[in-house]
Amino acid sequence: MIDIETRQPLKIITEGEAGAYLMVPLDQLADVRRILEERGIAHVVAEDAIQLDDKPTIAIIEFGRGTSPAVIQAALDAA
């Protein structure tokens, strides 16, 4: 799946100790969640989105530690 803002593929981030997560434009959140839910990939949307001019623009989707980043990435790449 392509990020509608950067025109680059969405990429799972695995840096740090927080586990895998994905930063997605808020306008694309529903589509990404649909893909994850269709494939049974457990996820949580963080309550705090990154904001610009006091408006949320980027949502952060967090994945459980037991979820394979490669499986998530494959699901996004196939969309």
pTM: 0.85
Q: What gap in Å lies between CA 66 and CA 28, rounded to an integer?
A: 25
Per-residue pLDDT of the chain (79 residues; tens, 9 = 90+): 999 988 999 999 998 777 899 999 999 999 999 999 999 999 999 887 777 777 668 899 999 878 899 999 999 999 8
**Which are the contacts of 68, defined by CB distance < 8 A and separation ≥ 6?**
none
